[in-house]
Amino acid sequence: MLSRLMRPGVPIRLARSGVKTAVMSNYRFFSADIRRMNKEQPKEETPKEKPQKEEHSSKKEAEIQPKKHHKPLSRMPIGTETDYSKMTIKKSPIEYLTWKSIVLFVAVGAGLTWLFNNQKEKIKLRNEAAANRGAGKPLIGGPFDLVDMNGKKYTDEDLKGHFSLIYFGFTHCPDICPDELDDMGEIIDGLKEKYKLEFQPLFITCDPVRDSPEMMKEYLGDFHPKILGLTGTYDDVKKCCKAYRVYFSTPRNVKPGQDYLVDHSIFYYLMDPEGKFIDVLGRNYDVKTAIEKIKDDMKAYVPENEREKAKKGLFGFLYK
């Protein structure tokens, strides 16, 4: 760069007076202009630019001085008649507007916009799930100790490792439970076909006195084969319903063969692979919207260790 500045015609004073390189770099861009200007000037004018060299020839200088103003005005940068070191020219932005830079700008912009929108939605759902997790104090869900329809023990530990959709009902339910269980079957198939997502559907009875494991198995035979029925003793079921905030109105002492109905809440509970509550779906969701909602919740789920890592990471503030 320096060698360029030192080309003939460029004022030597600049280099010699010890101007900082940063400042000098400004001159690089118009050194061509200066050169051209110098070229167009009469030969005897150039010495004026090098005063140090001409100190001893004061006679010559006196001769040159009046000629200074003969330079055509159109060729003089405005505001700077003599001292080129004070001249500044702004770099033209056009210089960078090549097609490559435009393509890069658009690509990066579009990419970032997509990324931000995508992440924003995910973070929103994640925060919702985190809020529902209630910082280690689950509002819905909790330990339970039941028996599945095959007679095997089924506890809250068995919820771990997969998503679960829990529905509370009873086999002698006149019209709502069968409807809901049919919907559950459609949700299971819909999610699998459309999004390749799977979960464990559970049907927990609120009527443990009548609903034995065998009874559950027989009853659920009419519905989707993946639905697993859970039952237990009166107290275990009552405890489980309480943990899930399910209204439980089953009478304790019913005579064998007594015919009665059970009042219960009708919700689907979506649980994450840690066995913790994510979301609740009421009667307001139809099959199609329930599929979308569950898909969104499942996609937004992040395993616990990754969640902790993200909190400690660079973008941790986003998760707080």
Partner 1 sequence: MGLFFADEKSGEAPNRKSREQCWESRDIFFKCLDNIKVIDPLDPEKGQEIKKNCGKEDQQFQKDCVASWVKYFKQKRPFDKKKAKILKQAKDEGAEVIQMSGYRK
Determine the distance from the C-alpha atom of residue 149 to the mean position of all C-alpha atoms in its chain, rounded to a whole number. 42
List 271's β-bridge partners, or say none. Answer: 164, 277
> Are the CB atoms for 289 and 297 separated by under 8 Å?
no
- 172 near partner 1, rule: CB under 8 A: yes
Nearer to partner 1, 263 or 306 (CB): 263
Binding-site residue positions? 173, 177, 264
Give residues 230-249 in contact with partner 1 (rule: CB under 8 A). Answer: 233
Among 52, 174, 196, 312, binds partner 1 (CB under 8 A): 174
Find the shortest distance in angstroms from Cβ 207 to partner 1: 10
218 in contact with partner 1 (CB under 8 A)? yes
Binding residues for Cu cation: 173, 177, 264
Structural Rg of the chain based on CA atoms: 41
Q: CB of 195: closest distance to partner 1 in angstroms?
A: 18
DSSP string, 117-145: HHHHHHHHHHHHHHHHHTTT--SS----E
- Taking CB under 8 A as the binding criterion, the range among 79-87, 107-115, 131-139, 281-289 that sits at the site for partner 1 is 281-289
Half-sphere exposure for 150 (CA within 13 Å, toward CB): 5
71 binds partner 1 (CB under 8 A): no
The stretch near partner 1 (CB under 8 A) out of 26-34, 66-74, 160-168, 283-291 is: 283-291
Tell me 74's DSSP state.
Answer: G
Name the 3-class secondary structure at 168. Answer: strand
Binding residues for partner 1 restricted to 248-267, rule: CB under 8 A: 256-261
Distances (CA, A) of 178 to 183, 219, 224: 9, 10, 11
**Minimum CB distance to partner 1, residue 222 (Å):** 4
Residues 6+ apart with CB under 8 A from 211: 170, 171, 205, 219, 229, 231
Smaller CB separation from partner 1, 34 or 177 = 177
Which of 16, 289, 304, 309 is the binder for partner 1 (CB under 8 A)?
A: 289
Which member of 212, 243, 265, 274 binds partner 1 (CB under 8 A)?
A: 212
Report how far residue 155's alpha carbon sits from residue 142's, in angstroms, rounded to the nearest whole number: 10
- Of the candidates 206, 209, 227, 230, which one interacts with partner 1 according to CB under 8 A? 209
Q: Which residues of 155-173 are buried (b: 16+ CB within 10 A; e: fewer)?
A: ebebbeeebbbbbbbbbbb
Residues contributing to the site for partner 1 (CB under 8 A)? 171-175, 178, 209-210, 212, 214-216, 218-219, 221-222, 233, 256-261, 283-286, 289, 293
